[in-house]
């Protein structure tokens, strides 16, 4: 028993500094580009200059920062660019409009949009489907009917809006949350 205690004491005395030094040192550099789980190799970084003209066109908003992105992020962006190529032109236009709208939003409006998105994610799947269907019906309305519905929605109190959501029927359309009036 004393031998075991002595062995442990010696191991802790001489082994602890080596373990601490090993933990403090960064891992050795490797060129195999393995990820943290070492199961899926990561692609090597691709400098902006090596992207195709099509990739540069799609990813142009990221041009100035591209070379600073880690390989994982570059890979994700290239995957998204590949999916973008496969989208129909009307869907691309819709996405561009959404991006432009997002860029024009104030930080407070963006924060509110993120909170609304989180509220939506916190709903049950049935509630999300119900709201999604109602919003799709809203989008299908002619512009004048959409404007009238938005105006009606804006004139309601929060309690009236909650009741409208609680009693949403299968043929009811629902406008998006109104933008803040103060700008």
Helix (H), strand (E), coil (C) string for 2-43: HHHHHHHHHHHHHHHHHHHHHHHCCCCCCCCCECCCCCCECC
69-117: pLDDT as tens digits: 999 999 999 999 999 989 999 998 998 888 889 889 999 999 999 998 9
Domain extents in the chain:
87-122, 125-177
Residue identified by tokens 């359309």 is 173
Residue identified by tokens 């070492």 is 38
Radius of gyration of the chain (CA): 27
- For residues 10 and 23, give the distance between their C-alpha atoms in angstroms, rounded to a whole number: 20
The residue among 163, 155, 160 whose CA lies nearest residue 181 is 155
Give how far the C-alpha of residue 72 lies from the chain's centroid of Cα atoms, to the nearest Å.
15
Q: Which pLDDT score is estimated for 35? A: 45
Are the C-beta atoms of 70 and 79 separated by less than 8 Å? Answer: no
* Residue 47 C-beta-side C-alpha neighbours within 13 Å: 2
Give whole-number Cα distances, 106 to 101, 115, 128, 160, in Å.
10, 14, 27, 28
The pLDDT profile of the chain, 183 residues, written as one tens digit per residue, is 444 333 333 333 444 444 444 444 444 444 444 444 455 677 788 899 999 998 898 888 888 899 999 999 999 999 999 999 899 999 989 988 888 898 899 999 999 999 989 988 998 998 888 888 888 888 888 999 989 988 988 898 988 888 887 777 777 776 666 555 554
């Amino acid at each position: 028993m004393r031998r075991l205690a002595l062995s442990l004491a010696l191991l802790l005395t001489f082994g602890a500094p080596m373990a601490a030094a090993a933990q403090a040192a960064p891992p050795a550099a490797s060129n195999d580009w393995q990820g943290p789980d070492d199961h899926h190799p990561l692609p090597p970084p691709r400098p902006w200059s090596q992207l195709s003209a099509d990739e540069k066109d799609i990813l142009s908003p990221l041009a100035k920062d591209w070379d600073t992105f880690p390989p994982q992020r570059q890979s994700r962006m290239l995957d998204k660019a590949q999916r973008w190529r496969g989208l129909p032109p009307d869907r691309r236009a819709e996405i561009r409009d959404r991006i432009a709208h997002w860029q024009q939003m104030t930080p407070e409006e963006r924060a509110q949009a993120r909170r609304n998105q989180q509220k939506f994610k916190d709903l049950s799947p049935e509630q999300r489907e119900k709201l999604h269907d109602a919003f799709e019906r809203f989008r299908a309305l002619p512009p004048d009917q959409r404007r009238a519905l938005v105006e009606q929605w804006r004139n309601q109190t929060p309690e009236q809006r909650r009741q409208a959501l609680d009693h949403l029927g299968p043929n009811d359309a629902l406008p998006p949350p109104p933008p803040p009036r103060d700008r």
